[in-house]
């Protein structure tokens, strides 16, 4: 089976599937509390047989690294609770000797903030960046307050942060977008300039949110942005991975304008980690089969299912269920997977060691 070639910390190419984990922000775990805590968790991840960590680099209007680009917008260089630490540099210095690949995860993407986080969200600084619904009001979906994903300035910010990360950290392996990058709620996009570009004229009824033509037209605009992001990442460092973790298709297209089969056909995803977040065997198997059916021919070796390992402090699958999910991935032709999120690795390390044939004491 063909697998994605990873680059180890020594620079040697290794034909090895992605077996990764997301590291969520400081509010969710103690990973970021100290360099010692970071080192211990990375060692646990390595001992479990995982080889890739996807670490938060962008949260609610804050970066988890010193960002000159963000400081120009917000006046704040990085998340205040980190003080003067450069945790991204610390992480790379700890992860690379272990042979772990590190990808910077731009978690909030085109979302400004969640819930009552307006005091630190990007819309505080640029209210004109708000995504607008058919009623002309700012769009909020599932608690997330969205920016206008079609605004060239908003798009350029995400490109700038991606390039800044690669430039600042030469050993960083890549950049990741998720269910908010590139993405926009299908209820958004009702800006005069965008409607005009679509062909709408004053006096006509506004297109319905899920009108198939309007839906696909906006999705294609996000694909065009992704082409620009891909070009910028590869221009800065050709070897950098552009990793994408969208929602399941076709729900991703219908709800968030994410046409990821088109992204793959266009060669815009070095790896795709679809978020197959389910809690039981039957629903996971169903979603896995549906996802497999939408992967373009010849692209299977770039796809690694995202699995729900932990939610907050709670471990979701039992050991037996997690093992079953991994077995199902292999049966469907997927060579690896990525877990959300790292707090669950220690509790399920024996499952990973057995699945990945990793010695208990390397």
Could you read off the pLDDT of 335-360 as tens digits, one per residue?
A: 999 999 999 999 999 999 999 997 76
Q: Catalogue the long-range contacts made by 113-120 (C-beta closer than 8 Å, 24 or more residues apart).
A: 113/60, 113/61, 113/144, 113/145, 114/60, 114/143, 114/144, 114/145, 115/143, 117/60, 117/61, 118/145, 120/60, 120/61, 120/62
Tens digits of per-residue pLDDT, 152-187?
999 999 999 999 999 999 999 999 999 999 999 999
Tens digits of per-residue pLDDT, 221-269?
999 999 999 999 999 999 999 999 999 999 999 999 999 999 999 999 9
Domain 5-355 sits in CATH 3.20.20.70: no
- Is the pLDDT reported for residue 13 higher than 80? no
For the chain, give the longest Cα–Cα distance. 71
Q: Write the DSSP symbol of residue 289.
A: H
Exposure of 203 in the CB half-sphere (CA atoms within 13 A): 0
Tens digits of per-residue pLDDT, 312-332?
889 999 999 999 999 999 999
- Is the pLDDT reported for residue 2 higher than 50? no
pTM exceeds cut of 0.75: yes
Whole-number average pLDDT of the chain: 94
Q: Which residue has tokens 């979603």?
A: 287
Residue 70 pLDDT class (50, 70, 90 cuts): very high
Task: Provide the residue ranges of all domains of the chain, joining segments of one domain with +.
Answer: 5-355
Q: How far is CA 205 from CA 189, 202, 211, in A?
A: 15, 8, 12
Contact by Cβ (8 Å): 144, 107: no
Contact by Cβ (8 Å): 129, 151: yes
Tens digits of per-residue pLDDT, 272-315?
999 999 999 999 999 999 999 999 999 999 999 999 999 988 99
Tens digits of per-residue pLDDT, 127-144?
999 999 999 999 999 999
Give me the phi and psi of 322, to 5 degrees please.
Answer: -60, -45
Contact by Cβ (8 Å): 52, 103: yes
Structure tokens at 334: 């997927």
* Cα–Cα distance measured from residue 249 to residue 263, given in angstroms and rounded to the nearest whole number: 12
* Cα–Cα distance measured from residue 278 to residue 275, given in angstroms and rounded to the nearest whole number: 9
Contact by Cβ (8 Å): 54, 338: yes
């Amino acid at each position: 089976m063909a697998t994605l070639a990873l680059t180890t910390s020594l620079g040697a190419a290794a034909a090895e599937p992605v077996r990764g984990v997301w590291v969520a922000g400081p509010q969710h775990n103690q990973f970021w509390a100290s360099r010692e805590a970071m080192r211990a968790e990375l060692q646990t991840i390595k001992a479990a047989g995982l080889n890739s960590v996807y670490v938060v680099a962008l949260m609610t209007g804050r970066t988890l690294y010193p960002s000159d680009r963000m400081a120009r917008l917000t006046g704040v260089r990085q998340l205040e609770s980190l003080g003067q630490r450069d945790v991204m540099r610390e992480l790379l210095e700890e992860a690379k000797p272990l042979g772990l690949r590190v990808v910077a995860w731009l978690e909030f993407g085109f979302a400004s903030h969640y819930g009552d986080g307006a005091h630190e969200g990007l819309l505080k600084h640029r209210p004109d960046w708000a995504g607008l619904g058919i009623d002309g009001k700012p769009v909020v979906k599932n608690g997330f307050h969205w920016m206008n994903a079609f605004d060239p300035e908003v798009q350029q910010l995400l490109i700038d942060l991606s390039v800044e990360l690669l430039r600042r950290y030469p050993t960083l392996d890549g950049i990741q977008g998720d269910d908010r990058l590139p993405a926009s709620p299908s209820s958004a996009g009702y800006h005069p300039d965008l409607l005009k570009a679509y062909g709408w004229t004053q006096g006509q009824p506004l297109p319905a949110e899920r009108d198939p033509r309007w839906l696909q037209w906006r999705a294609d605009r996000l694909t065009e942005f992704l082409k620009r992001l891909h070009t910028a990442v590869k221009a800065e460092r050709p070897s950098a991975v552009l990793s994408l973790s969208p929602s399941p298709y076709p729900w991703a297209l219908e709800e968030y304008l994410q046409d990821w089969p088109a992204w793959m056909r266009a060669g815009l995803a070095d790896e795709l980690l679809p978020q197959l977040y389910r809690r039981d065997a039957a629903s996971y198997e169903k979603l896995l089969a549906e996802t497999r059916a939408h992967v373009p021919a010849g692209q299977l070796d770039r796809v690694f299912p995202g699995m729900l390992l932990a939610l907050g402090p709670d471990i979701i699958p039992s050991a037996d269920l997690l093992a079953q999910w991994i077995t199902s991935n292999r049966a469907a032709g997927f060579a690896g997977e990525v877990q959300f999120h790292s707090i669950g690795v220690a509790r399920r390390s024996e499952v990973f060691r057995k699945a990945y044939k990793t010695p208990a004491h390397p």
